[in-house]
Amino acid sequence: MRALHFMKIDYVKTKQQMIVTPLILLLIVGIMMAPDSDIREYSAVVPFSYMVFMMIIFSCSPFGSCRREETGFLQLLPATTRDRVAGRFLYGISLLMIATVLGAGAMAVFWLLGLQSSAWDIPLCLLALAIGIFIMTAEYVFFYLFGENTAQNLLGIVRVLPGMCFFFITAQLSKEIVKEPDKMMQGMETVGRYLNLIGGIALAASLIMFVAAIGLCAAMTDKRDC
**Domain segments of the chain as ranges:** 2-223
Return the amino acid letter for 210.
F
Please state the pTM of the whole predicted model: 0.80
At 75 the pLDDT is 62
At 66, is the secondary structure helix, strand, or coil?
Answer: coil
Other residues' Cβ atoms within 10 Å of the Cβ of residue 19: 8
Burial of 198 (0-12, 13-18, 19+ CB in 10 A): middle
Q: What is the pLDDT of residue 111?
A: 74
Q: Give the pLDDT means over successive 10-residue stretches in the chain (226 positions).
A: 83 80 72 58 72 85 68 65 90 92 80 68 85 90 75 63 69 62 56 74 92 91 70
Distances (CA, A) of 204 to 9, 51, 155, 197: 28, 20, 28, 11
Compute CA distances 225 → 6, 80, 91, 96, 171, whole Å: 18, 12, 22, 30, 42
Specify the pLDDT at position 133.
93
